[in-house]
Amino acid sequence: MNLSIVVPCYNEAENVPKLQREFFPVVAELATTHAVEVVFVDDGSTDETYQALTDAFVGDNEWHVPVRVERHPVNRGLGAALRTGFAPARGDIVVTTDSDGTYKFSEIPALLSRLTPDADMVTASPYHPAGGVAGVPPYRLVLSQGSSIIYRVLVSWKVHTYTSLFRAYRRKVVERVPFESNGFLAGTELLVNGMLMGYRVAEYPAVLYSRVHGTSKAKLARTIMAHLKFQAQVLLRRLNLAPRIEPRQAVGGQA
């Protein structure tokens, strides 16, 4: 299995030491059995994120893992960062993870273990009965849990969490499933559109932790409105009142 790990970053210079301590030992362990690459995307950071990532990981790093750092000249949002990260990724499996470790990097192998032949996507699920939440601000839970409940009604009650970034995808999913959002809706849009196109999803019950460094980049009002608009679109599709989702075409073998 070839594996690409895509890590969007915005003003995360303070978290680079954590990535060195907690993320790359996991990557190095995975590299003993798989061909692994890491793609960081600096989404227009105004701090030293790009330089810190480049200094720490690019070139002859101690883990002997190929690393590239893509860069947006201005902040474009999570969805844009994901598309930028997917484009050069070459893995048969693509993992996406937060750079701040709100889901433990050490759980990446367990996440991958859920990507059985019966699944095309695996999503971390703190709202699964076997998952959990630790120290996360209540306002984040209101948005995330509330949105997930609505998506459970609209799409599938079997999936408990629709808002996680911590996921594993088969390559065909990131190549073919369209998502338009440049913002925080993107991960949900990718999951929901994939499910509506017939791709199968498995959940990985996980614990969602609070950030240690920095602050959440979510813009609450904007994100709520984006979810409401997308939920209306999903409802229209479920009622056959809107066109079905068309697969996007990969260009030059890239997502």
Provide the CATH number for the domain around residue 180: 3.90.550.10
- Contacts of residue 252, Cβ cutoff 8 Å, sequence gap at least 6: none
pLDDT for 153: 97
When pLDDT is cut at 50, 70 and 90, the band that residue 196 belongs to is very high
Judge whether 151 lies within some domain.
yes
Spatial distance between the Cα atoms of 48 and 103, rounded to a whole number of angstroms: 23
Cα–Cα distances in Å, from 251 out to 12, 43, 186, 189, 229? 31, 22, 20, 21, 29
Considering its fold, how many domains does the chain have in total? Answer: 1
The counts of H helices and E strands in the chain are 9, 9
Domain of 188 in residue numbering reads as: 2-238
| Nearest in space to 8 (alpha carbons), one of 51, 69, 56, 55 | 69
Axis-axis angle for helices 138-154, 220-238 (nearest 10): 10
Judge whether 249 lies within some domain.
no
Residue type, 250: A
Judge whether 244 lies within some domain.
no
Judge whether 246 lies within some domain.
no
pLDDT for 214: 52
Spatial distance between the Cα atoms of 116 and 122, rounded to a whole number of angstroms: 9
Q: What is the pLDDT of residues 85-112, one digit of tens each?
A: 999 999 999 999 999 999 999 999 999 9
Judge whether 222 lies within some domain.
yes
Residues 52-60: what's their mean pLDDT? Answer: 93
DSSP state of 21: I
- Contacts of residue 94, Cβ cutoff 8 Å, sequence gap at least 6: 3, 4, 5, 6, 86, 168, 169, 170, 171, 173, 174, 255
pTM: 0.93
Judge whether 253 lies within some domain.
no
Judge whether 234 lies within some domain.
yes
Number of residues that make up the chain: 255
Judge whether 82 lies within some domain.
yes
Phi, psi of 217 (to 5 degrees): -95, 0
